[in-house]
Structure 1
Amino acid sequence: MAKVKLAELQAQLITESWEAGENPISELSEKDQTILLGAVPPGGPPTKAEKEASEKAVMAQFNALSATATANPSTFDWRNKGGRNYVTAIKNQGGCGSCVAFGVLSVVESMVRITKNDANYTTDLSEAHLFYCLKGDPNGCSNGWWPTGAYDNVKANGVAKENFFPYVGSQQSCNVGSGWQNQKVQITNYKHVTGLNNIKEWIANKGPVSACFEVFQDFYSYQSGMYRHVTGNSVGWHCVSVIGYNDAGGYWICKNSWGNGWGDNGFFCIKYGQCSFELYGMWGVEGIVDTTWIYGKKILGLWSNSAPLNAWAFIQDEGWKKIANTNRENHLMLLTALIAAKNIGSTPSVHIANGHIDQIYA
């Protein structure tokens, strides 16, 4: 099939709410463009009737919600939650159909920040580890994936930080650095969310979600505005993270994995009901465990008050960390070990889970 011609597309967009332009993705060959689309719907692509029914149902829900008051805010964006940005930087999947890994880990990274209530927290997870090691497919770049498989792996195994297995944008063999388990991020659960209002409620109250949708040729040339399919054939399925929505405009706000040079600095907006965006529902994370070992640092201070099991340790270069208090016996054991380390000036190995000290080895 022939690529969409930009001049012809721009002429058709005069009455539309989005703009098209040349970018690194639109300039790729058709073959290289298609490689980017690595979402594989279970049971094969939906039928035309299923897609039409999904769009009709979504718009009916939207129209019904527009006529009644809901508890959800009318607009929401995790890039500006109380003036803080909980969305991590745009990445580039390169010449590989690894979009599912990016769409899933984008959500997990944001959930780490949200869980810690720290928009500046540095979290960079390894899509290469998830896609090339945990997926277990030697030809992963051309075979694609689906979010449930990715989330199952992050729940069961956790995923390494980027520095243990950097992503390069082309087929890689599994080569994760030793000790990654000591620095991993794991989820305790994830949930499949369906229905327009339920998805918006999840986004506004819990965090971003992953979504998969059908891509048409004109999407490659997206530059800004609210995307709606105008011209071009269906070319495959893609996975992204949804970081917000806008009811006034009737669209989702999404983070893509095609680099900053595509779209609106890597982001895009898409009209509700378009491209079967809601057909398969979306997936959100319930519970984050962010673990790390701290080595070679002194315990410089300890603090507690009259509240039960409320004690903190100040670790060199790391700051104050709360001592885990889910179990009284374990809490007192950790506190005793930290006091001893401080008194003799030793540098124990300290394990941190979600900001709490839960293990220590002298």
Structure 2
Amino acid sequence: MAPLNTAALVQTLRDSSARWTARETPQSQLSDDDKRALLGVIFTPEDRALAQAGRTAAAEAGPATFAPAVDWRNRNGNHVTSVKDQKHCGSCVSFCCTAVVESMASIEQGQLLDLSEADSHFNSSHGASCGGWNADACLEQIKQRGVVGETVLPYMNAFDNPPQNDPATNLWKPYVRPTPNRAATQVSIGKHGLISDINARKQYLTDVGPCSASFDVYDDFFSYSTGVYHHVSGNYAGGHCVEVIGYSEAEQCWIAKNSWSTAWGMSGYFKIAYGQCNFDVYAFATAQDVKLPATHGWSGWESLGGVLTSKPSATSWGPNRIDVVARGADSAMWHRWWDGAHWNGWESLGGGCQSGPSICSWASGRLDTFMVGNDHQLYHKWYQGGWSGWEGLGGVLSSDPACVSWGPNRIDVFARGMDSAMWHLWWDGSHWNGWESLGGVCDSAPAVASWSANRLDTFVKGTDSHLYHKWWNGSKWSDWENLGGYLGGDPAAVSWGPNRIDVFYPGSTFHMTHKWWDGSSWSGEEDLGGVLSSGCGVSSWASGRLDCFGEGTDSALWHKWYA
């Protein structure tokens, strides 16, 4: 199609006393192909049917109660987030739908969000393409899988730098990018819907909030500057999706936010007359019941009593279940557990513990405990409907053991040997294997965590009091990695999900100190307070949940949790 002459359009608008003005915009100066790249609605058969039927009359079920005018930028505050720029990509549907969810989060939850259009468009069922979509499908994806914050996946991070065109589409070529720790920023919706009736649209905008609208774009729209737009000249370019933030009965128009940057229109906003470009023919899409990510934080310290003579060890066999063991003043192993409602115990499990005990679980209702006896050998006692006796597993050990399970009927046990190296023993489901030496010079008992099948991450205090890390990736052991910090005692480690590890230890002031791996890097040291007289124990019964334990200066068990 021939390029639109903006000067001629300006004159036509003056001559016809039109309610809008035109100017050269960054978008009006684009080629036809580049203009079409800014559009991205694939109309559904239902939308096509509505367009064929034409603009429908409003419902006649009683008098309308909607307001004479609505603008959600000024309706008990501003609930419309800033205008963005979709660039050379047909991602307008995701820009519109995330904007609607952002507005609804502000209205429903009082939270101003900045959501990732890249995650919505490219990482969802839509796939890594700058091709079009429709709002109903986009909102269903936000309902089913959620959408992360912009800081987790900035829009431009989905493209090469500089972006490259896909020869097949002449649009930018995007990629699916990883979004680690989605739970920290992931937002979803509880429901979404479609509104076809015109009065019902205005009632929804009055009572609830902004919507998504799709409409037909003609070439003169790219030159829009101010006022109430109506189609005057230029050819059909394609379908577009924008956030409807209000309307005006006096001006007989809808008010909307575009995604072509603030250089277009009225700083990125526009008004469009009722009945124009199928704006009020294609159904409006709505989103409600915004679900925000859980707000996490640390509790204070809770005393669970007892008289401990070792560091505690903890595990969980399922949601809202925690089991803790420690050596008592009589050298027996003592057990206390949380059943989801209250703490039980202490109960004595006997034994003559030279070391503090360790505990892990590989199934609901299953516990495996380990301790080093006075003969420096490892001993095993398990619970499955009842407690077993003690089983000797050999070895010549000089520290508390550490144990973990990475799957059903699998247990891995680690301890320091008499040569100060870390030694490993494992149960493969039918018999015990090892001991094997994993080297190192350990100045503490080891700690171990597992975040997936056949994955083990072990930690020890080195002779320089730094934290050292060695891991099994399913086929081989790594070398030792120095993670720095300062350890004043034995560490503990746990994983709450894939590629997540949390490590705890007494720090330089004997406060509980926390260091974690978030899937891409290690944090620094976080001071969690308290005054410990032992190493730490930790368990996790859900993603984002940590239960930490230590012996206080009063020899009681103390508990601090993150949820």
Same fold per superposition (TM over 0.5): yes
Correspondences of 1:89-128 after superposition (within 5 Å): 89-116=82-109, 118=110, 121-128=111-118
* TM-score, length basis structure 2: 0.50
Match of 1:13 in 2: 13
Contact 1:291 1:351 in 2 (8 A): no
Match of 2:203 in 1: 201
Q: Does 1:152 align with 2:145?
A: no
Give the whole-Å Cα distance in 2 for the aligned partners of 1:332 and 1:86. Answer: 40
| Paired residue type of 1:24 | P
Question: Whose Rg is larger?
Answer: 2
Residue 28 of structure 1 deviates from its aligned partner by 1.4
Q: SS in structure 2 opposite 1:93?
A: coil
Residue 280 of structure 1 deviates from its aligned partner by 2.1
Match of 2:226 in 1: 224
Deviation string 1:22-69 (CA, Å, 9 cap, x unpaired) is 11111111111101110011249848xx647523x3xx549x89xx95
Contact 2:136 2:193 in 1 (8 A): no
| RCO higher in structure (CA 8 A, sep ≥6) | 1
Residue 79 of structure 1 deviates from its aligned partner by 0.2
Give the whole-Å Cα distance in 2 for the aligned partners of 1:345 and 1:351. Answer: 24
- Unpaired segments of 5 or more residues in structure 2? 160-171, 302-338, 343-527, 533-538, 546-560
Residue 281 of structure 1 deviates from its aligned partner by 1.0
Give the whole-Å Cα distance in 2 for the aligned partners of 1:204 and 1:269. Answer: 17
Whichever structure has more helix as a proportion of its residues is 1
Give the whole-Å Cα distance in 2 for the aligned partners of 1:61 and 1:189. Answer: 25
Deviates more, 1:95-104 or 1:285-294: 285-294
Q: SS in structure 2 opposite 1:133?
A: coil
Match of 2:67 in 1: 73
* TM-score, length basis structure 1: 0.76
Match of 2:165 in 1: none
| Paired residue type of 1:100 | V
Give the whole-Å Cα distance in 2 for the aligned partners of 1:155 and 1:45. Answer: 21
Residue 182 of structure 1 deviates from its aligned partner by 2.9
Q: SS in structure 1 opposite 2:70?
A: strand
Residue 177 of structure 1 deviates from its aligned partner by 2.4
Give the whole-Å Cα distance in 1 for the aligned partners of 2:18 and 2:52. Answer: 21
Match of 1:304 in 2: none
Q: Does 1:2 align with 2:2?
A: yes
Which among 244, 249, 252 is matched to residue 250 of structure 1?
252
Contact 1:37 1:236 in 2 (8 A): yes
Match of 1:29 in 2: 31
Contact 1:38 1:238 in 2 (8 A): yes
Q: SS in structure 1 opposite 2:242?
A: strand
Paired-residue identity, %: 34
Residue 183 of structure 1 deviates from its aligned partner by 1.7
Deviation string 1:263-310 (CA, Å, 9 cap, x unpaired) is 000000001110011222101112110114535x5659xxxxxxxxxx
RMSD: 3.1
Contact 2:127 2:176 in 1 (8 A): no
Structure 1 runs, 4 residues or longer, greater than 6 Å off = 330-333, 348-352
Deviation string 1:146-204 (CA, Å, 9 cap, x unpaired) is 11110110011111111111102743211132101332000011011111110011111
Q: SS in structure 2 opposite 1:236?
A: strand
Q: SS in structure 2 opposite 1:262?
A: coil
Q: SS in structure 1 opposite 2:141?
A: helix
Contact 1:164 1:176 in 2 (8 A): no
Contact 1:227 1:271 in 2 (8 A): yes
Give the whole-Å Cα distance in 2 for the aligned partners of 1:282 and 1:16. Answer: 27
Deviation string 1:59-87 (CA, Å, 9 cap, x unpaired) is x549x89xx953111000000003x1000
Match of 1:286 in 2: 288
Give the whole-Å Cα distance in 1 for the aligned partners of 2:340 and 2:10. Answer: 64
Match of 1:317 in 2: none
Contact 1:253 1:269 in 2 (8 A): yes
Against the structure 1 CA distance between its residues 361 and 27, is the aligned structure 2 distance closer, same or farther, given a 3 Å change threshold?
Answer: same
Contact 2:192 2:286 in 1 (8 A): yes
Contact 2:47 2:282 in 1 (8 A): no
